[in-house]
């Protein structure tokens, strides 16, 4: 029997990686893919997949918010795809929910699929929604976000408080931390740094930009329907449509 499978990730290359590795799994039938959380909720309700590869860090709705939007009748088996650190991943193990830690290889994906296959075939998913709820509660209580970073600059090494950062810019395998008139490079990916930052303080506004929410002064509508984000120090940043909704909701809630 074929396992109807949905792939959810905001990065096309990440979705392609999952699809490529799944070619060896002959009972897997990929019924669709989604680039954000809202699409995922709709696709799960319409396509009723048996299995979902679900990225946690996404625009619109993150992976946990997708899970919370579903009821028990539409809940598939879930393999989370995540950039969380090892401390947080212990929660997944405790609640018997599988995950793929980016970057993962073919062997690790095969192991996760085998685990999901066992769940589906033996119908042991009756308490899945309870385990998911417990997982989310644990992660919210235990997740320790970064408070400071180690920065190497001009022959010196120093600690930089996260609250000193105005905004963060992607630069290949590095990110550039902007603080006042200074900018410092550290070796980290944008997805990696975003996963370690408190989402109540930092917001992704573009594939290559994360901004400290308290530094945002205003939004400027553009002719094309896009927006520019203006920081308190005058810096102007582009707001991508994929990340627009959460920021607009934030402004509306503060009005």
Each residue's pLDDT tens digit, 105-159: 999 999 999 988 887 776 545 555 566 666 666 655 555 678 888 888 777 788 8
pLDDT, residue 94, reads: 46
pLDDT, residue 127, reads: 53
Q: Rounded to whole angstroms, how far apart are CA atoms 126 and 177?
A: 45
Each residue's pLDDT tens digit, 42-73: 999 999 998 999 998 887 788 888 888 877 66
Of all residues in the chain, what percent carry a pLDDT higher than 70?
82
| CB under 8 A, 24+ apart: contacts of 129-138 | 129/71, 129/72, 129/75, 131/95, 131/96, 131/97, 132/67, 132/75, 132/78, 132/95, 132/97, 134/95, 135/91, 135/92, 135/95, 135/97, 136/64, 136/67, 136/68, 138/91, 138/94, 138/95
Each residue's pLDDT tens digit, 199-225: 889 999 998 999 999 999 988 887 776
Each residue's pLDDT tens digit, 130-139: 666 666 666 5
Q: Where are the domains of the chain?
A: 3-142, 148-254
Q: Which fold has domain 148-254?
A: OB fold (Dihydrolipoamide Acetyltransferase, E2P) (2.40.50)
Q: What homologous superfamily is domain 3-142 in, according to CATH?
A: Response regulator (3.40.50.2300)
Tokens of 72: 């028990």
Contact 203, 210 (CB under 8 A): yes
SS3 (DSSP) at 95: coil
Contact 39, 18 (CB under 8 A): no
Report residue 241's pLDDT band, with 50, 70 and 90 as the boundaries.
confident
Tokens of 126: 């009756």
Residues 6+ apart with CB under 8 A from 152: 186
Tokens of 17: 């990686």
Q: Is the model more confident about 144 or about 30?
A: 30
């Amino acid at each position: 029997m074929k396992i109807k499978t949905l792939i959810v990730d905001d990065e096309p290359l990440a979705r392609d990686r999952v699809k490529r590795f799944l070619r060896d799994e002959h009972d897997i039938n990929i019924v669709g893919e989604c680039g954000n959380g809202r699409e995922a909720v709709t696709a799960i309700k319409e396509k009723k997949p048996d299995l979902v590869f679900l990225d946690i860090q996404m625009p619109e709705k993150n992976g946990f918010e997708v899970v919370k939007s579903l009821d028990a009748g539409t809940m598939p088996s879930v393999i989370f795809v995540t950039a969380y650190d090892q401390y947080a991943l212990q929660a997944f193990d405790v609640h018997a929910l599988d995950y793929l830690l980016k970057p993962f290889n073919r062997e690790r994906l095969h192991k996760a699929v085998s685990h999901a296959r066992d769940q589906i075939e033996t119908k042991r998913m009756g308490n899945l929604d309870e385990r998911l709820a417990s997982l989310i509660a644990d992660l919210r209580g235990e997740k320790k976000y970064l408070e400071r970073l180690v920065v190497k600059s001009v022959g010196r090494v120093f600690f930089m408080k996260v609250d000193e950062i105005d905004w963060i810019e992607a630069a290949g395998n590095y990110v550039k931390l902007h603080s006042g008139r200074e900018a410092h490079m550290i070796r980290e990916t944008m997805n990696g740094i975003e996963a370690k930052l408190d989402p109540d303080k930092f917001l992704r506004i573009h594939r290559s930009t994360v901004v400290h929410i308290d530094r945002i002064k205003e939004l400027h509508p553009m002719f094309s329907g896009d927006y520019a984000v203006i920081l308190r120090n005058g810096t102007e940043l582009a707001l991508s449509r994929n990340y627009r909704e959460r920021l607009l909701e934030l402004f509306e809630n503060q009005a």
